[in-house]
Chains A and B, each alone.
Chain A
Amino acid sequence: MCAVNVFARISNVLNMERRKFLKNSALASSLLLVPNFVKALETQPLNTLGYKRLVIIQLSGGNDGLNTIIPHNNEIYYNARPRLAITQNIIKLNDDLGFHPSMAPLRALFDNGEMSIINNVGYPNPVRSHFRSMDIWQTASHANEYLQSGWLGRYLDEHGNQPYNAIEIDNQLSLAMKGEHFNGIATNNHNVLYKTSKNPFFKGLSDHFDDKHLSEHNLGYLYRTMIDARSSAKYIYENTKVSLSQQEYPQNAFAKQLKNVAQFINSGLETKVFYTALSGFDTHANQLNTQKRLLTQYSDSISAFVKDLKRNNTFKDTLILTFSEFGRRVKQNAANGTDHGAANNIFVIGKKLKKAGFYNKLASLSDLDDNGDIKYEVDFRAVYKTILNNWMNVSSEGIIMSKHNSLDFI
């Protein structure tokens, strides 16, 4: 045990030294000068303090950002939404913007400098189809570009070696978690997964498996998935401590996902990325009640999750990113709902934020695009790049294909 710790500590120190070195070096973009043994240390399990994790929360359906972070001093907002604007109990965060009333549990995070709200995040030529826009967010592609792998999947391609390095708490794996060669694992019940994988028949199959002829097509994919699943199921089952969480969570499916994530993080699993989702935000009609219910679930669950991590001293090594595939139209529709829009706000929650609170101002509501949607100012891929560079401490090359400047929220 001592050996491992010492090892890890050396590696941390070396990493820090290397970072300093790279920062100061004129050859910062090149990794060629890094001695091989440093790189070797990097790939060692760092199952200890300083192991940075990323938790993604996807709000599916297109969350209405304007009724989430409310421009409570903006006449245009109220005029565009005569029956939909939030007028009461807004939790004012500054003179211009405030939380939806259901987001009270997040107030403390905001006040403590543990939350950064980035406004007007999007991409050029925004697509207003759920599926396409979600694919764009998940693959980090251009609007007119079709990528078959996700940005987190490509991170795994470069830096992962086991499916459990990225876990999605769901029955199905999102495109974001699928790499060119490597996939994360999806499970919403790791005990069931383990029990299933243990069957002796599958051991026989795996023992006889010969992968020479099965690299590309569908049958090969099934075999590889089966073999990866067996080893990952075993790892997760054996390394997850059950009785860690004393934190109370709300009773809903989203909270359950986060509770699972906290359990994995607090058990020290070698998992870099967790993926969760809350859906139902496609509020074309009767938006007020639906969004209220969903934002309540979101805020209560996040609040419990952060408390759980803090209690186990893992919050400082966890970064939580919340996004939706697009915002919604500024003007409400006839059904007391809103149609698909464009740029939207995203939330970054974590301990070590460089720029907490509001990262930038809400874009003008009088200067909208041709559809009447908010124009983007911050490219979502710049956010990804920043997280990869400044949080995961990896180069974004080969993961984010387009060129962007890093932001300075972490």
Chain B
Amino acid sequence: MTLEEIKHLHWRAGFGIQEEVLSNKSFNKKQVIDALFDDSASALALNVDVSYLDGINLSDIKTNPSLAKKLREKNRKKALDINIAWMERMTYSKDTLRERMTLFWANHFVCQDKNPKHILQYNNTLRSHALGDFRTFIKAISKEAAMLKYLNGKQNRKRKPNENFARELMELFTLGEGFYTELDIKESARAFTGYNHNFEGSFVFMKLQHDYGFKTFLNRTGRFNGEDIIDIILENKQCARFISDKIYRYFVNPKPNITHIEAMTEVFYKDYNIEELMRFVFTSDWFYFKENIGAKIKSPIELLVGMTKTVPFKFERKKDVAGIQKLLGQMLLKPPNVAGWKGDKAWIDASTIMIRLRLPSMLLNNAVIPVDEYGAFNERFKSRFFKKNNGKLPFKILPDWDMFLKNFQSVKTIDLADIIIQGKFSKGTKAFLDTLKKASKRDYCVQLMSLPEYQMC
């Protein structure tokens, strides 16, 4: 594998370059990919202390408004803790592939909740099935407390079915629009009636609310329950194709390639094994084609985690994590709707592009992007900037430049671009970079990260 290829793999299967890429341990393709899967072999649950909810039950909350209020506040804070713990997990854990898959699935089985215990449980369900069996995965999702709330599954009762989950199950989770009818939605909603959960977040099946009658679904008739419905959906190859298409656009190239997606569909349809599918993608020659390298616009989370991996930094104030995510348009655990973030070009508009380009200097360099050419102007800009902001940066950050210099010891400053940037430079920018002095590795790093090219991976 070339350096470019190994970077490509790490940006797509993880969140950017790792130390071991720099230390050049093994560039043997099979070994590199095997290591990626070995490191993610088991799922380690994300842990945040939510024990304050232990022993509390629903009637406590209903009868004690001040307790309910206190809990709501505490829940909000905890949700932020989970967000931060998840960010740290993505940045520092060894099982980067599993974390990358978890983030992917979180934007596939999109869900939002207020109860930290249920949020955490849902997040860990995503994590534990991330590379597993898609059939088991989706059945688990259909029984998750957070999902039962988010898509009104718990309100889906024999007497009055609620179609919300049944509709999104097919439209967004398995088949995509156009492969089922409104009648299929109505009938499958009946099959999921009676699904509920208790306060702890465990699945509860309420027999009396379940409709045991005959249902006709995707041209089959039977006394189907929810699991039957999922099994019938998976029999349709369109499901394997729908997931393969989504994985291709996310992991390979936002522009779909029908031939490659069909090949993935064949692999996935056999037994819906997610790990096998991903192995097929990462070992395929086409994954490393030039047109796929640097073709993807980083999501805000990819951008933030990727930066942290190059120049380690920590937010001093918790709320800044949420603030930055919000500014960039992707707050973890708070998707815009059940379709999730659109991604790709939708991340970028006139306002987010400017925030993104300013972000590295804001976070790592006191808001200054070094420019020799405009040295004097830059000083003026700096003093004005600080005057306007009362001498304060909008965020409190501790960047660890010493660690950066240590990690990048073996890399010459002029070669920094080869490590930091994925894909091709635009012509004019190459000329612009030539005008820069590159005297300081740190300055040059900030400059490179402030380029539109750094937004690509």
Where the two chains meet, the residues of A that have a C-beta atom closer than 8 Å to any C-beta of B are: 127-132, 144, 163, 171-173, 183, 185-188, 193, 195-205, 207-210, 212-214, 217-223, 225-226, 228-230, 232-233, 284-285, 333-335, 337, 339-340, 370-371
Set of chain A residues within 8 Å of B455, measured between Cβ atoms: 222
**Cross-chain pairs A/B with CB under 8 angstroms, 27 sampled:** A130-B339, A171-B352, A172-B346, A172-B352, A187-B350, A196-B354, A199-B358, A200-B369, A200-B378, A201-B369, A202-B357, A205-B428, A218-B297, A218-B344, A218-B345, A218-B456, A219-B452, A219-B456, A222-B452, A225-B349, A226-B354, A229-B349, A233-B350, A233-B354, A285-B155, A335-B155, A335-B162
Choose, from B82-90, B163-171, B314-322, the stretch at the interface. Answer: B163-171
Q: Are A335 and B152 in contact (CB under 8 A)?
A: yes
CA distance A130 to B340 in the complex (A): 12
Our pick among A127, A200, A217, A225 for the contact of B353 (Cβ within 8 Å) is: A225
Set of chain A residues within 8 Å of B70, measured between Cβ atoms: none
Shortest CB distance A276–B (Å): 15
Residue with the greatest number of chain A CB neighbours at <10 A, chosen from B352, B361, B385, B452? B452
Check if B138 is an interface residue, CB within 8 A of chain A: no
Q: Are B152 and A200 in contact (CB under 8 A)?
A: no
Set of chain B residues within 8 Å of A229, measured between Cβ atoms: 349-351, 353-354
Q: Are A210 and B349 in contact (CB under 8 A)?
A: no
CA distance A209 to B358 in the complex (A): 18
Shortest CB distance B255–A (Å): 9
Set of chain B residues within 8 Å of A219, measured between Cβ atoms: 294, 423-424, 426, 452-453, 456
Set of chain A residues within 8 Å of B432, measured between Cβ atoms: 204-205, 207-208
CA distance A393 to B297 in the complex (A): 38
Check if B418 is an interface residue, CB within 8 A of chain A: no
CB-CB under 8 A for A204 and B374, given A233-B350, A284-B152: yes
Q: Are A163 and B351 in contact (CB under 8 A)?
A: no
CA distance A121 to B348 in the complex (A): 32
CA distance A130 to B168 in the complex (A): 10
CA distance A130 to B428 in the complex (A): 42
Set of chain A residues within 8 Å of B338, measured between Cβ atoms: 130-131
Question: How many residues belonging to B are interface residues under a CB distance threshold of 8 Å?
Answer: 63
CA distance A220 to B456 in the complex (A): 11
CB-CB under 8 A for A204 and B371, given A172-B329, A218-B295, A226-B354: yes
Where the two chains meet, the residues of B that have a C-beta atom closer than 8 Å to any C-beta of A are: 152, 155, 157, 159-160, 162-164, 167, 171, 177-178, 182, 254, 294-297, 326-327, 329, 337-339, 344-346, 348-355, 357-358, 361, 369, 371, 373-374, 377-378, 381, 385, 388, 423-424, 426-429, 431-432, 435, 447, 450-453, 455-456
Q: Are B348 and A225 in contact (CB under 8 A)?
A: yes
CA distance A211 to B385 in the complex (A): 31
Q: Are B177 and A132 in contact (CB under 8 A)?
A: yes
CA distance A196 to B327 in the complex (A): 13
Q: Which residue of B lies closest to A209 (CB)?
A: B428
CA distance A232 to B353 in the complex (A): 13
Shortest CB distance A160–B (Å): 14
Q: Are A222 and B353 in contact (CB under 8 A)?
A: yes
CB-CB under 8 A for A333 and B160, given A129-B167, A205-B432, A218-B296: yes
Q: Are A129 and B171 in contact (CB under 8 A)?
A: yes
Set of chain A residues within 8 Å of B354, measured between Cβ atoms: 193, 196-197, 202, 226, 229-230, 233
Q: Which residue of B lies closest to A172 (CB)?
A: B329
Q: Are B162 and A193 in contact (CB under 8 A)?
A: no
CA distance A346 to B411 in the complex (A): 61
Set of chain B residues within 8 Å of A285, measured between Cβ atoms: 152, 155
CA distance A218 to B295 in the complex (A): 7
Q: Are A204 and B431 in contact (CB under 8 A)?
A: no
CB-CB under 8 A for A339 and B428, given A187-B350, A200-B371, A226-B357: no
CA distance A131 to B351 in the complex (A): 23
Set of chain A residues within 8 Å of B373, measured between Cβ atoms: 204
Q: Are A334 and B427 in contact (CB under 8 A)?
A: no
Shortest CB distance B153–A (Å): 11
Q: Are A131 and B167 in contact (CB under 8 A)?
A: no
